[in-house]
Amino acid sequence: MTQVISLIITSTLVINIFLAVALIFLERRDPTSTWAWLLVLFFIPILGFVIYLLLGRQLRQKHLFRWEGRNKIGIEKLISYQLEAIENETFEFLKPDTEEYGDMIYLHLRNNHSVLTQDNDVQIFTDGQEKFEALLEDLEHARDHIHIQYYIFRLDGIGKRIEEVLIRKAKSGVKVRMLFDDIGSRGLHVRHFQELITSGGEVAAFFPALLPLINPRLNYRNHRKIVIIDGRIGYIGGFNVGDEYLGLSKKFGYWRDTHLRIEGSAVHPLQTRFILDWNQASPRTNIQYDERFFPAIPRKGTVAMQIVSSGPDSEWEDIKDGYLKMIFLAKDYIYIQTPYFIPDTSMLDALRIACLSGVDVRIMIPNKPDHMFVYWATYSNIGLLLKAGARVYIYENGFIHAKQIVVDDQVSSVGTANIDVRSFRLNFEVNAFIYDREKSHELAEIFEEDIQNSTELTLHAYLERERLIKVKESISRLLSPIL
């Protein structure tokens, strides 16, 4: 019996060493992530590798998102023109404050093919009731098509209301396409939208499980939340679809988020993003180029913005690079709201240097976790910045889920990406980078209003935290590269 146990232990160790070597030399991932997974393999032999197969394998990027229609709408020519014009200093910026961020605009053009649009009208929502009432009204007025994509879509009160509108519009001849994430919308299946499909709508799930409870792409989720109506109106931001986003959850209470409604040329990049995601998720019903998806839009406003996407298919961490560029350019203040704060070393150092350079860095996080390890990892990182002089606020009026950064009343970003490794490397995300003094100031005022519903976490209070909290932070910090 002893020999059998010894053989099992030896075999387990050998297999674990082999798996660790394969992880190091075949995957060639980020060193911090590698060390985190090695810890998992070491402390949970064999089972750890099963977890790794489900959560840790890198995504094959080749041909993930393809759409031949990109050439027909002239994106490549427009990108080339804007790049060359900025390089030659001949680009026509319609506002001086936009021109001040020309190098950041150039960064997104080069890295992400994100065209700059300067004719947008933008409405900011921070309350779920207001956002969904506006969305429902816009859906009711749709005439040609509705493209709707959410990470989480629940068929509860608000979900049913949206579904009813979609069914009614589909019956009237409007082309409706619904895309949801298979893991984010756990328990939801395409078959649950049978009436919508029967009415002429199309529904698809992103990266669905190949077998029940087994999904080898479990870790790579489409976290985007966008809606395009008739190619003229777009929505982007942090709200998913569910009653909790209306503040009806007993656990979370009031739900504080940030979402944008856009009218203007920026809707076209959002449309392109949806089509790319749809064609990946639903190859049998691929969207082909049609002018109806990209109608001429009368000038609606003067807000300049770029729509920037990122994900495990990207060569660079494009949204994170945009955040870093904003931090580097800050002179007066940086306001950050995020439910999860697990930055990598580059962003943590950038914020620390900003603090030590006299920039007013303020960060707002929730007062309660929706993911325990993520919460304590957030707390650990916050402590490091408190020591550098950052001011940290704990939002007390329910749960804050907003993903927004504002710098110097001049540039801001709102979208789906959190300040964490998962958003930067693993999830498919999309953000609007806004170059507009008025809208950035409005977002800054929203932050300052939220301070009234927050408690400031001082360095003294942080240093006096309980020993158990320190242990939770230490464990979570070790695992943070894979959270």
Please tell me the number of Cα atoms within 13 Å of 340 on its side-chain side: 24
Is 169 assigned a catalytic role? no
Exposure string (b/e) for 97-110, b if CB count within 10 Å is 16 or more? bbbbbeebbbbbbe
Among the listed residues 131, 145, 147, 403, the single catalytic one is 403
Is 403 assigned a catalytic role? yes
Among the listed residues 119, 230, 321, 420, the single catalytic one is 230
Among the listed residues 113, 268, 300, 401, the single catalytic one is 401
CB 132 within 8 A of CB 158: yes
Q: Nearest Cα to 292, choosing from 138, 145, 140, 74?
A: 145
β-bridge pairing 226-229 and 404-407:
unpaired
Among the listed residues 318, 321, 408, 450, the single catalytic one is 408
Is 225 assigned a catalytic role? yes
Among the listed residues 113, 169, 223, 320, the single catalytic one is 223
By the 10 Å C-beta count (0-12 exposed, 13-18 middle, 19+ buried), 476 is classed as buried
Please tell me the number of Cα atoms within 13 Å of 113 on its side-chain side: 14
Helix axes 75-87, 102-112, angle to 10 degrees: 140
Is 223 assigned a catalytic role? yes
Q: What are phi and psi of 412, to 5 degrees?
A: -150, 165
C-alpha–C-alpha distance, residues 483 and 481, integer Å: 6
Active site residues: 223, 225, 230, 401, 403, 408
